């Protein structure tokens, strides 16, 4: 089952406590997109996708939270001087 995160499912205080533990487990260079300040918690309710996986013994709530990376670079334009050999991957 997939859906959006609701304050009825996870209240803001519990969500903030969960999010405070996330950076401790992230690889170097990754961080939460909106931090863990109380005033930014509402952003996670809009951005987080929720999946529920259940079996006969337990129910797991999976939160898909967007991260940002300081090492990520984007190339908007790349100038190529012709003639140039273009390799095929």
pLDDT per residue as tens digits for the range 46-75: 888 888 888 888 888 888 888 887 766 555
CA atoms within 13 A on the CB side of 23: 13
In a domain, residue 80? The reply is: no
pLDDT higher at 76 or 37: 37
**Residue 17 has what pLDDT?**
92
Q: Range of 21's domain?
A: 2-69
Number of domains in the chain: 1
pLDDT higher at 23 or 86: 23
In a domain, residue 48? The reply is: yes
**Residue 23 has what pLDDT?**
86
Whether 26 has a pLDDT exceeding 60, the answer reads yes
In a domain, residue 77? The reply is: no
Q: How far apart are the first and last CA of the chain?
A: 38
In a domain, residue 81? The reply is: no
């Amino acid at each position: 089952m997939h859906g959006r995160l609701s304050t009825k499912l996870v209240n803001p205080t519990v969500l903030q406590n969960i999010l405070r533990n996330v950076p401790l487990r992230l690889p170097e260079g990754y961080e939460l997109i909106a931090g863990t300040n109380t005033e930014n918690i509402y952003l996670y309710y809009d951005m987080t996708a929720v999946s529920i996986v259940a079996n006969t013994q337990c129910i797991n709530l999976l939160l898909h939270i967007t991260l940002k990376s300081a090492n990520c670079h984007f190339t908007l334009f790349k100038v190529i001087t012709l003639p140039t050999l273009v390799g095929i991957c």
